[in-house]
């Protein structure tokens, strides 16, 4: 279908962005990569009055190391993350996950910030951000603030951004020498939104523990789902391949169903995915130099 009419401004500064957001309120949408927004508009699912294009703000396109974090500007595309040597060095999990995001043509334009702001629980980046203990840097007329990923995703398509605020960058803690991770998602077709996906991050300890583990699911709830019970068990029990099944049985998330999969199926698939990822990490713990 053809999109409904809307007005358009290519913002020349952040101030202009905030001023327009203030003026138009709910009737304005931020245009970043447009890969989600424009599809929505083409289906006439939404009829905003004005699109505020932030694509011209070069400050939002940077990737750099800032202190102990990798700072990725909101307008950095999925393709740029996929291809970036800096990202591969400091946050290799991002490099590994990027190819799972849709398809390359979408990745050439779609942005990390756009994905985080849209907060689709079936998307990869919100889940990864939580798993990596990322920080959202939001900015509005009142200035910048930092929002922990854990506190950012509130409900389906709902974030902690206040009206008039946009995401300007994401901070990802630099990966350290003992950081290990595993990611997988189940899709019926490559590039689809996953039925279920999970990422596990943590620090490998010499005693065979996965410390500071975070286990986050995508596609199961209205926001990225943390498997708190399993995370806690990992603090006290070594992660071995034999134990993977036991850990997985302790999974405490309650997924909802979707068009093709009942809630029970999702839970089953979540457990299977978790067990497989834990087994993979257990293997890495056995061979520490590969961690």
Q: Does 189 bind other proteins (CB under 8 A)?
A: yes
Position 3 contacts other proteins (CB under 8 A): yes
Span near other proteins by CB under 8 A; candidates 13-21, 31-39, 138-146, 231-239: 31-39
Q: Which of 105, 141, 148, 156 binds other proteins (CB under 8 A)?
A: 105
Q: Would you count residue 235 as binding other proteins (CB under 8 A)?
A: no
The partner residues of 159 in beta bridges, in order of sequence, read 153
Helix or strand holding residue 179 (H, E): strand 179-186
Considering only 12, 13, 25, 42, the residue that binds other proteins (CB under 8 A) is 42
Spatial contact of 108 and 35, defined as CB atoms under 8 Å apart = no
Measured between its terminal Cα atoms, the distance across the chain in Å is 49
Residues 6 or more apart whose CB falls under 8 angstroms from that of 156 comprise 119, 121, 222, 223
| 55 lies in the binding site for other proteins (CB under 8 A) | yes
Note whether 112 binds other proteins by CB under 8 A: no
Asked if 208 touches other proteins (CB under 8 A), the answer is no
Using CB under 8 A, which residues numbered 114 to 173 contact other proteins?
none
User: In b/e form, how buried is each residue of 154-189, taking b as 16+ CB within 10 angstroms?
Assistant: eeeeebebeebbbbbbbbbbebeeebbbbbbbbeee
Q: Applying CB under 8 A, which part among 66-74, 129-137, 157-165, 261-269 lies near other proteins? A: 261-269
Residue 192 binds to other proteins (criterion: CB under 8 A): yes
Task: Give 33 or 134: the residue with its C-beta nearer to other proteins.
Answer: 33
Q: From 115, 153, 138, select the one nearest 33 (Cα to Cα).
A: 115
Q: Residue 150: count other Cβ atoms within 10 Å of its Cβ.
A: 15
Among 14, 86, 109, 243, binds other proteins (CB under 8 A): 109
The only residue of 25, 92, 238, 257 in contact with other proteins, by rule CB under 8 A: 257
- Number of neighbouring beta carbons within 10 Å of residue 14: 17
Q: Which is closer to other proteins, CB of 139 or CB of 273?
A: 273
The SS3 of residue 176 is: coil
- Mapped onto helix, strand or coil, the DSSP state of residue 237 is coil
The residues that touch other proteins, with contacts defined as CB under 8 A, are 1-8, 10, 31, 34-35, 38-39, 41-44, 51, 53, 55, 79, 102-106, 108-109, 186, 188-193, 195, 257, 259-265, 268-269, 272-273
């Amino acid at each position: 279908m053809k999109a409904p009419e809307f007005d358009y401004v290519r913002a020349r500064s952040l101030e202009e962005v905030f001023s327009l957001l203030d003026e138009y309120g709910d009737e304005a949408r931020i245009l970043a990569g447009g890969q989600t927004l424009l599809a929505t508009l083409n289906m006439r699912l939404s009829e905003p009055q004005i699109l505020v294009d932030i694509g011209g703000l070069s400050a939002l396109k940077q990737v750099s190391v800032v202190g102990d974090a990798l700072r990725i500007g909101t307008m950095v595309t999925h393709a740029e993350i996929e291809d970036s040597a800096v990202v591969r060095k400091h946050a290799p999990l991002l490099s590994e996950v990027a190819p799972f995001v849709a398809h390359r043509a979408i990745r050439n334009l779609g942005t990390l910030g756009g994905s985080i702001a849209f907060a689709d629980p079936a998307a990869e980046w919100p889940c990864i951000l939580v798993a990596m203990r990322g920080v959202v840097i939001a900015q509005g007329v009142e200035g910048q603030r930092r929002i922990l990923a854990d506190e950012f995703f509130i409900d389906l398509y709902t974030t902690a951004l206040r009206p008039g605020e946009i995401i300007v960058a994401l901070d990802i803690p630099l990966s350290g020498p003992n950081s290990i991770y595993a990611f997988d998602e189940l899709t019926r077709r490559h590039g689809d939104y996953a039925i279920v996906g999970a990422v596990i991050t943590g620090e490998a300890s010499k005693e065979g523990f996965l410390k500071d583990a975070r286990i986050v699911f995508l596609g199961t709830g209205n926001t990225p789902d943390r498997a708190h019970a399993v995370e806690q068990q990992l603090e006290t029990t070594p992660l071995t391949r034999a134990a993977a099944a036991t850990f997985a049985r302790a999974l405490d998330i309650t997924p909802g169903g979707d068009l093709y999969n009942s809630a029970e199926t999702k839970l089953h698939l979540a457990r299977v995915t978790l067990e497989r990822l834990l087994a993979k990490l257990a293997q890495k713990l056995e061979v520490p130099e590969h961690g």
